[in-house]
Chains A and B, each alone.
Chain A
Amino acid sequence: MGDSETSGMDPIVAVQGLTKRYGAQTALDQLDLCLDRNERLAVLGPNGAGKTTLIAVLATLVRPSAGTLRVMGYDSAAAPNEVRRHIGVVAHQTYLYEELSARENLQFFGRLHGVQDLEARVETLLKLVDIYPRRHEPIANLSRGMQQRVALARALVHDPDVLLLDEPDTGLDQAHLALLASLVQGRAIPARTVILTTHNLERALELCGRVAVLAQGRLVYQAASAALDRAALHDAYHRLAGAAP
């Protein structure tokens, strides 16, 4: 495979003209996006702005009506399974089987991904997300916050280069928000490229080096967190989305 040299030059995630229409509705409109290795982007936007659709399209779960998505140089239309190998996804749904335990869930998804040395990997992850003592209990018995942590571990099981997180802070308490931050920022685990959606501006600034605003399917504002003009962001958000962040 000659992907090692191409991935050094290409952006990790490259999106061009991405459009998704549902009948007459346009959920994503001509979206362009580019992320380098270990870059972290927070996508802000009100409900209905297209955040979830964006994550679903990036995750190859929804086919775009137009435009292209490339991950690590692989085209999502031509080599979807290569793209899937390199992405880990946390969404509103946990993707976990209620009847299975946290450990069994991780093992199942690990096997689907062909993870080597799966036992050790699962043990490490269970400890990492602080669920280890309850690893044998069915997911149905765990609280929403615990399920969310297992979902995080699930997304990491195959050590993906790219993390796609759709409002990953859902249900997490203060202590585990810190855990989320350490995972996203690459302190607890090796750093990786991250796209996350949130409607919490402070969290976006804390977690990510870049912030973008999505409104009516378009990226209407983009800036580095450090150089962020809060007034401008607020203004853009307010004007275009009709709601305060």
Chain B
Amino acid sequence: MALSKNAGGARRWVDDVLGVATLIGMVVALWLIFIYTPVELVQGAVQKVFYIHLASIWNAYLSFFIVFVASILYLRRPSAAKDRLARAWAEIGVVFTTITLISGAIWGKPIWGTYWSWDPRLTTTLLLWIIYVVYLMLRGFVGDPERGRRYAAIVGIIGFIDVPIVHMSVRWWRTLHPDPIVARAEGPDLPMSMWYTVLYCIVVFTVLALFLVRQRLHIDELRETLLDLRMTAR
């Protein structure tokens, strides 16, 4: 008991640092996005959403890559911890894929004139979202929890390998159709200040993802402790 309390104390400390870093980092990100970087001439203020959009999709891919690695490790040597890690990252990945889709739509309405277009990246992102939502649903569908974890790991591997192939096929498919886009998003020469802001946002969002995953794992542990207590109380 004393040992776990000690470990809990260390974890609390790391979580505090991550939380404070995220908070300060986010405030600075807002300042960079809205005050430091210039307003884009063609697109206007709505271009600001682009920073959050890019940082979110980065987080999504990072998350699903970690799910992929954790899934391989799980199949090689199953452990509840690896499964919890994979599931936590998948949840965070789905959250950030959702943010990517929503921020893309907010940006798309004034720029493309529509919330949704079957742009290759949008289409791939939507499919990515679906694959990992199914991944998260899967455990609930399988009766034996151990089997559910194993199946989730299989989808975590197949899904990740599939994404570049899906993207390739959707891109080739899209080249066949006239593009409804009025103005393309990215000019080739962004000012350096914009690039710095993009990179900064990516770093801050990664810290946010780490913070969220740790909170998620902490909730899992509390839930298990609760279950144990209930079992011993009986």
Q: Which residues of A contact B (CB under 8 A)?
A: 22-24, 63, 65
Contacts and interface: CB of A to CB of B under 8 A. Distances in A.
Contact of A24 (B144, B146, B231): B231
A65 B150 CA distance: 13
B8 interface: no
Nearest first, the 9 closest Cβ-Cβ pairs linking A and B are A23-B145, A22-B144, A24-B227, A24-B231, A22-B145, A65-B146, A63-B146, A22-B146, A23-B144
Contacts, number: 9
Interface string B215-234: 00000000000010001000
Interface string B126-159: 0000000000000000001110000000000000
- Interface residues of B: mostly helix, strand, loop or mixed? helix
A93 to B, nearest CB: 17
Contacts of A23: 144-145
Interface residues of B, number: 5
A65 to B, nearest CB: 7
A206 B146 CA distance: 39
9 contacts: A22-B144, A22-B145, A22-B146, A23-B144, A23-B145, A24-B227, A24-B231, A63-B146, A65-B146
Interface of B: 144-146, 227, 231
Name, among B144, B146, B227, the residue most crowded by chain A CB atoms within 10 Å (CB to CB).
B146
Contacts of B146: 22, 63, 65
A52 B89 CA distance: 37
A65 B145 CA distance: 12
A235 to B, nearest CB: 26
Contacts of A22: 144-146
Contacts of A63: 146
Given A22-B145, A23-B145, A63-B146, 6 more contacts: A22-B144, A22-B146, A23-B144, A24-B227, A24-B231, A65-B146
Contacts of B231: 24
A65 B146 CA distance: 9
Contacts of A65: 146
A63 B149 CA distance: 14
B19 to A, nearest CB: 32
A65 B144 CA distance: 12
Contacts of B145: 22-23
A224 to B, nearest CB: 36
A50 to B, nearest CB: 15
A151 to B, nearest CB: 25
A212 B146 CA distance: 29
Nearest to A21: B146
A82 B145 CA distance: 28
A176 to B, nearest CB: 35
Contacts of B227: 24
A22 B227 CA distance: 14
A10 B139 CA distance: 40
A92 to B, nearest CB: 18
B140 to A, nearest CB: 13
B98 to A, nearest CB: 30
A22 B144 CA distance: 6
Contacts of B144: 22-23
Nearest to B231: A24
B191 to A, nearest CB: 56
A116 B177 CA distance: 61
A22 B147 CA distance: 10
A23 B228 CA distance: 12
Nearest to B78: A63
Nearest to B228: A24
B67 to A, nearest CB: 22
A41 to B, nearest CB: 27
A63 B227 CA distance: 24
A22 B142 CA distance: 12
B81 to A, nearest CB: 15
A193 to B, nearest CB: 29
A23 B145 CA distance: 6
Contacts of A24: 227, 231
A23 B227 CA distance: 11
